Protein backbone atom coordinates (compact mmCIF):
# COMPACT_ATOMS: atom_id res chain seq x y z
CA UNK A 1 0.00 0.00 0.00
CA UNK A 2 2.76 2.38 1.00
CA UNK A 3 4.59 1.57 -2.23
CA UNK A 4 1.57 2.45 -4.36
CA UNK A 5 1.11 5.79 -2.65
CA UNK A 6 4.77 6.58 -3.21
CA UNK A 7 4.65 5.68 -6.89
CA UNK A 8 1.52 7.79 -7.25
CA UNK A 9 3.28 10.71 -5.65
CA UNK A 10 6.42 10.41 -7.75
CA UNK A 11 4.52 10.17 -11.01
CA UNK A 12 2.36 13.07 -9.88
CA UNK A 13 5.42 15.22 -9.35
CA UNK A 14 6.94 14.11 -12.62
CA UNK A 15 3.63 14.71 -14.33
CA UNK A 16 3.51 18.34 -13.28
CA UNK A 17 7.15 18.91 -14.18
CA UNK A 18 6.42 17.43 -17.59
CA UNK A 19 3.45 19.72 -18.10
CA UNK A 20 5.60 22.63 -17.06
CA UNK A 21 7.87 23.48 -19.92
CA UNK A 22 8.27 20.75 -22.50
CA UNK A 23 6.51 19.86 -25.69
CA UNK A 24 5.61 23.26 -27.00
CA UNK A 25 6.97 23.48 -30.53
CA UNK A 26 8.44 26.50 -32.25
CA UNK A 27 5.65 28.17 -34.28
CA UNK A 28 7.17 27.28 -37.69
CA UNK A 29 6.05 29.60 -40.47
CA UNK A 30 4.40 32.15 -38.19
CA UNK A 31 5.55 35.06 -40.38
CA UNK A 32 3.12 33.86 -43.05
CA UNK A 33 0.18 33.76 -40.65
CA UNK A 34 -2.51 36.37 -40.09
CA UNK A 35 -1.22 39.50 -38.42
CA UNK A 36 -3.40 40.39 -35.45
CA UNK A 37 -1.72 43.51 -34.09
CA UNK A 38 1.48 45.32 -33.17
CA UNK A 39 2.42 47.15 -29.98
CA UNK A 40 5.38 49.22 -28.87
CA UNK A 41 6.08 49.10 -25.14
CA UNK A 42 8.26 51.90 -23.81
CA UNK A 43 10.51 51.53 -20.75
CA UNK A 44 8.17 53.62 -18.55
CA UNK A 45 5.22 51.25 -19.17
CA UNK A 46 4.21 49.16 -16.09
CA UNK A 47 5.51 46.08 -17.95
CA UNK A 48 8.40 48.06 -19.47
CA UNK A 49 11.14 46.40 -17.45
CA UNK A 50 10.28 42.99 -18.94
CA UNK A 51 8.53 43.84 -22.20
CA UNK A 52 10.37 46.92 -23.42
CA UNK A 53 10.29 46.50 -27.19
CA UNK A 54 8.04 46.18 -30.20
CA UNK A 55 5.94 43.07 -30.77
CA UNK A 56 3.77 41.68 -33.53
CA UNK A 57 1.12 39.04 -32.89
CA UNK A 58 0.29 36.37 -35.50
CA UNK A 59 -2.39 33.66 -35.55
CA UNK A 60 -2.54 30.47 -37.61
CA UNK A 61 -5.85 29.66 -39.39
CA UNK A 62 -7.41 27.93 -36.37
CA UNK A 63 -6.35 30.67 -33.97
CA UNK A 64 -7.56 33.34 -36.38
CA UNK A 65 -10.90 31.61 -36.40
CA UNK A 66 -10.77 31.63 -32.59
CA UNK A 67 -10.19 35.38 -32.54
CA UNK A 68 -13.31 35.78 -34.69
CA UNK A 69 -15.61 33.28 -32.98
CA UNK A 70 -14.30 33.35 -29.39
CA UNK A 71 -13.68 29.57 -29.53
CA UNK A 72 -10.12 28.37 -29.97
CA UNK A 73 -10.03 24.75 -31.13
CA UNK A 74 -7.08 22.41 -30.53
CA UNK A 75 -4.28 23.23 -32.95
CA UNK A 76 -4.74 26.98 -32.60
CA UNK A 77 -1.31 28.61 -32.38
CA UNK A 78 -0.52 32.24 -31.61
CA UNK A 79 2.99 33.71 -32.01
CA UNK A 80 4.32 36.91 -30.53
CA UNK A 81 7.42 38.21 -32.29
CA UNK A 82 9.29 40.45 -29.83
CA UNK A 83 11.99 42.81 -31.14
CA UNK A 84 14.24 45.65 -30.05
CA UNK A 85 13.76 48.97 -31.79
CA UNK A 86 15.74 52.06 -32.73
CA UNK A 87 14.28 55.54 -32.30
CA UNK A 88 16.21 57.54 -34.90
CA UNK A 89 15.29 60.69 -36.88
CA UNK A 90 11.79 60.77 -35.48
CA UNK A 91 11.03 57.27 -36.71
CA UNK A 92 10.93 53.94 -34.96
CA UNK A 93 12.27 50.83 -36.67
CA UNK A 94 12.47 47.31 -35.37
CA UNK A 95 15.96 45.84 -34.93
CA UNK A 96 17.16 42.54 -33.42
CA UNK A 97 14.79 39.83 -32.25
CA UNK A 98 14.54 39.37 -28.45
CA UNK A 99 12.38 36.23 -28.53
CA UNK A 100 9.41 34.57 -30.14
CA UNK A 101 6.70 33.63 -27.63
CA UNK A 102 3.95 31.18 -28.44
CA UNK A 103 0.68 29.82 -27.10
CA UNK A 104 -0.55 26.46 -28.41
CA UNK A 105 -4.07 25.22 -27.74
CA UNK A 106 -4.54 21.59 -26.71
CA UNK A 107 -7.14 21.02 -23.99
CA UNK A 108 -5.83 17.61 -22.97
CA UNK A 109 -2.07 18.05 -23.32
CA UNK A 110 -1.95 21.41 -21.55
CA UNK A 111 -4.72 20.73 -19.03
CA UNK A 112 -2.65 22.01 -16.10
CA UNK A 113 -2.21 25.39 -17.80
CA UNK A 114 -5.87 25.86 -18.79
CA UNK A 115 -5.56 24.22 -22.23
CA UNK A 116 -2.75 26.42 -23.53
CA UNK A 117 0.94 25.50 -23.80
CA UNK A 118 3.36 28.42 -23.43
CA UNK A 119 6.96 28.78 -24.57
CA UNK A 120 9.44 31.44 -25.63
CA UNK A 121 12.40 30.94 -27.99
CA UNK A 122 15.51 33.07 -27.65
CA UNK A 123 16.47 35.52 -30.42
CA UNK A 124 16.64 33.89 -33.83
CA UNK A 125 17.14 30.46 -32.32
CA UNK A 126 14.77 27.77 -31.16
CA UNK A 127 16.34 27.67 -27.69
CA UNK A 128 13.57 27.41 -25.10
CA UNK A 129 13.53 30.02 -22.36
CA UNK A 130 10.64 29.02 -20.11
CA UNK A 131 11.77 27.34 -16.90
CA UNK A 132 8.64 27.90 -14.81
CA UNK A 133 5.60 28.18 -17.02
CA UNK A 134 3.23 29.23 -14.26
CA UNK A 135 5.30 32.11 -12.91
CA UNK A 136 6.70 33.23 -16.24
CA UNK A 137 3.54 33.04 -18.38
CA UNK A 138 0.32 31.57 -17.01
CA UNK A 139 0.01 33.77 -13.92
CA UNK A 140 -0.25 36.93 -15.97
CA UNK A 141 -2.62 35.45 -18.61
CA UNK A 142 -4.97 33.94 -15.98
CA UNK A 143 -7.04 37.11 -15.39
CA UNK A 144 -8.06 36.82 -19.07
CA UNK A 145 -9.94 33.59 -18.33
CA UNK A 146 -13.22 34.93 -19.76
CA UNK A 147 -11.37 35.77 -22.98
CA UNK A 148 -9.76 32.33 -23.46
CA UNK A 149 -6.61 33.57 -21.62
CA UNK A 150 -5.91 35.87 -24.58
CA UNK A 151 -5.34 39.62 -24.30
CA UNK A 152 -5.27 40.77 -27.90
CA UNK A 153 -8.21 41.23 -30.23
CA UNK A 154 -8.38 41.58 -33.99
CA UNK A 155 -8.04 45.17 -35.08
CA UNK A 156 -11.22 46.77 -36.36
Q: Which is nearer to ligand HEC, 47 or 90 (CB)?
A: 47
- Which residues lie below 8 Å from residue 101, measured CB to CB, with a gap of 6+? 79, 80, 82, 118, 119, 120, 121, 137
Cβ(19)–Cβ(111) below 8 Å: yes
Task: In angstroms, give the least distance from the CB of 47 to ligand HEC.
Answer: 5
Q: Which is nearer to ligand HEC, 11 or 132 (CB)?
A: 132
Q: Which is nearer to ligand HEC, 98 or 120 (CB)?
A: 120
Task: In angstroms, give the least distance from the CB of 126 to ligand HEC.
Answer: 14
Task: In angstroms, give the least distance from the CB of 156 to ligand HEC.
Answer: 14
Identify the burial level of 15 via C-beta atoms within 10 angstroms of its C-beta, where 0-12 means exposed, 13-18 middle and 19 or more buried.
exposed
Q: Which is nearer to ligand HEC, 96 or 153 (CB)?
A: 153
Task: In angstroms, give the least distance from the CB of 8 to ligand HEC.
Answer: 30
Long-range contacts of 81-86 (CB under 8 A, 24+ apart): 81/30, 81/31, 81/55, 81/56, 81/57, 82/51, 82/53, 82/54, 82/55, 83/53, 83/54, 83/55, 83/56, 84/53, 84/54, 85/40, 85/53, 85/54
Task: In angstroms, give the least distance from the CB of 4 to ligand HEC.
Answer: 36
Q: Which is nearer to ligand HEC, 7 or 140 (CB)?
A: 140
- Residues that bind ligand HEC in the complex, under the rule CB under 6 A: 37, 39, 47, 57, 78, 80, 101-103, 118-120, 130, 136-137, 140-141, 150-152
Amino acid sequence: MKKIVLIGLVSGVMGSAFADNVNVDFPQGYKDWKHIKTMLIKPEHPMGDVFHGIHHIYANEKAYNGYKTGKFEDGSVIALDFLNYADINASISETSRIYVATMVKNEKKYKTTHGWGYEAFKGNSEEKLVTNVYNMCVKCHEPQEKNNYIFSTIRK
